Structure formats: C-alpha cells, structure tokens
Amino acid sequence: MIEAGFAERTKLRDLAPGSVTRTLAETFARELAELHERLGETYESAFIETETGESVEVLVDGLCPRRPWWWPLRRG
C-alpha cells in the first residue's frame, strides 16, 4: 500500500518509517504474501505434472488399490 502509491488514499495515518502503523501494515503484507505463496504451492500440487515430494506419494497411494495380506492365500 505504502510503496505502491496508496499512501494518500489509505485511511491509515502516521505512515512514517518506523511507526507502529507502518510496521503493522508491512508485517501484514509480508504474511499475506507468504500465505499467497503457500496457497499457490498447494494449488500446483493438485496436478500430476507439477507435483513434488509427499503429495505425489499421497496421490499414488490413492490410485493403487491395496490387496489384503490374505489375498494370496485365497487363490491357493
């Protein structure tokens, strides 16, 4: 907000560097950016082409049916 040129349009006052209001606004913006990045990673992990690590294992485990331990005994 501050660096993007919205300082004159925001209802926040005392936006000088080091002020409590500016520090809170910058902290909120940083945390929001981190959340946005995490949500993007979560979204990308929903597709096989972009999956990595543990999400691939979870997907494959869901696709491969597991047979019970006694399955070979049933045949013989």
| Cβ atoms of 45 and 51 closer than 8 Å | yes
Across all residues in the chain, what is the average pLDDT? Answer: 76
Q: Where are the domains of the chain?
A: 2-75
pTM score of the predicted model: 0.49
What's the pLDDT score for residue 1? 52
Residue pLDDT, tens place only, 6-27? 656 667 677 788 888 888 889 9
Say if residue 29's pLDDT is above 80: yes
pLDDT confidence of residue 14 = 76
